[in-house]
Amino acid sequence: MYFLRLLVAAAFITTVIAKETETEWTCGEDGFWYEGSTKTTYACDEDDAKDDYSGDKDDSSSSSDGKDSACIDTSDPNMPATFPQTCVSTSIGDRCWYTYTPPQVVSGSTYPLVVDLHGGGGCASDSAAWSGWQKLSEGNDEDDTFIVIWPQGSGGGNWGVGGSEWSVINAETSSTGKDTFDAPDLEFLAEIVASTDAPVDLERIYFTGFSMGCMMSLRFLLERSDLIAGAHCHGGYLVSPESGTSITPSNLPVGVYMTGGDADDWFAMSEDQFDVWTNFNNDGCVESTTSVTLSGSELTDATLKTCGNVDRMVVAGMTHVLDERMASLAWEALKGLSRTGVADALPEAGEVVVPCVVGEEGGCGEGEVCVGAQGDEGEEGGEGGGKRRRRRRLFGNFDKDTTTAPEPTPIIGKCVHTLEL
């Protein structure tokens, strides 16, 4: 058994704390948003608008001048209606994801699948809009395209990045007095692969994610390499107990493509993990380091370290931000990798449920009504009801207006046949 020895930085705790109270958001001198006194993973600047890599200010409608509707576990109003939603029943309630099938897809053929996980506190629509994977899928030729799925996190847009080791990690951090977030996301993400009706080539499934989504992608790769061939992690690292993981690696070779900036503290925590993954593969690879010039007018200097199917790219000057250029680089590195035996390793498909908005017509089929689940997020609607989470805008920044009254929250339910009532 090979033990992964990784240190859990105390700062990580701030990314996984489930907060339900409204506190003031401020942009710190270190360039990160703070929720009260707690540092988050989201970058900011004094103008509350982050420069993108082309040097243009973010003046989109999702910036501080505009207000987006909040997403919840089973609803994301900002996701395009052309990306169908699928939900399944889980042990913690209904969980959902959105699927993009590019126009190049031909009936009767199967295609690779990329599962793209949003950052902590974010929404599936954030990744769909800014990660670059949908644009890449749409722009590639038919023989090089892929299907994209964006799952929605739970408990305010979080991921259970500790996986089956979370109790150990929790015990190690209990002295801080903080309640850390946990969710059965290993099971949920496996159910997505088992339940999707998209024409997926099961031998070519890859995960990707930003920040906390990056952490979850690597956790899934560690524990379920029998289901996926590789993962891309941008702006994050693999979280593991200080005492060393109790996971027994499956010794299945994996592809790992890590990207981030040299000004990103969260990505810096992955520096020692390059050797962890190469040792995990144990393929006798020879390490090499090269200089890379990226496309664009700014932030174009990068260094790429490679050993076999493990890569780590460091972009000079980049902070904790999304960068759609990373999608094409990761795709080129991972797309040739495959995993056999996935069909035999998949869990049973989950019970698919149809979400709906209580009181709205046309959301359910004939003989069905929309019924809200007791205690479901968004069950309490109306002025002042429910919860309005601050939305992450381009590059992970937040709207820091703390005076806006909560928007009415839709009452989300699921379609139930009248005979079942």
Which residue's structure tokens are 């089956």? Answer: 164
Rounded to an integer, what distance in angstroms lies between the CA atom of residue 356 and that of residue 74?
A: 9
pLDDT 10s per residue in the chain (421 long)? Answer: 333 333 333 333 333 333 333 456 677 766 555 656 655 545 555 554 333 322 222 322 233 233 345 788 888 999 999 999 999 998 888 999 999 999 999 999 999 999 999 999 999 999 999 999 999 999 999 999 999 999 999 998 999 999 988 888 777 776 665 556 789 999 999 999 999 999 999 999 999 999 999 999 999 999 999 999 999 999 999 988 776 666 766 668 999 999 999 999 999 999 999 998 998 898 899 999 999 999 998 999 999 999 999 999 999 999 999 999 999 999 999 999 999 999 999 998 877 876 666 766 666 666 566 666 543 433 333 333 222 232 222 233 323 333 344 445 555 566 654 444 4
Mean pLDDT of the chain: 77
pLDDT at 55: 29
Q: What is the pTM for the complete model shown?
A: 0.74
**For the chain, domain boundaries:** 10-345
Contacts of 253 (CB under 8 A, 6+ apart): 281, 283, 309
**Which tens digits make up the pLDDT trace of 343-400?**
999 998 877 876 666 766 666 666 566 666 543 433 333 333 222 232 222 233 323 3
pLDDT at 147: 99
pLDDT at 177: 59
Question: Top-level CATH class of 10-345?
Answer: alpha beta
Which letter does DSSP use for residue 378 in this model? T
How are beta strands 32-35 and 38-43 bridged, if at all? Answer: antiparallel
Rounded to an integer, what distance in angstroms lies between the CA atom of residue 305 and that of residue 303?
A: 7
Strands (E), 121-236: 147-151, 200-210, 230-234
DSSP alpha helix (H) spans, 196-261: 212-223
Tokens representing residue 247 in the block: 């996971």
Rounded to an integer, what distance in angstroms lies between the CA atom of residue 282 and that of residue 288?
A: 16
**Spatial contact of 304 and 292, defined as CB atoms under 8 Å apart:** yes
**Spatial contact of 219 and 166, defined as CB atoms under 8 Å apart:** no
**Spatial contact of 75 and 353, defined as CB atoms under 8 Å apart:** no
Taking the alpha carbons at both ends of the chain, their separation in whole angstroms is: 52
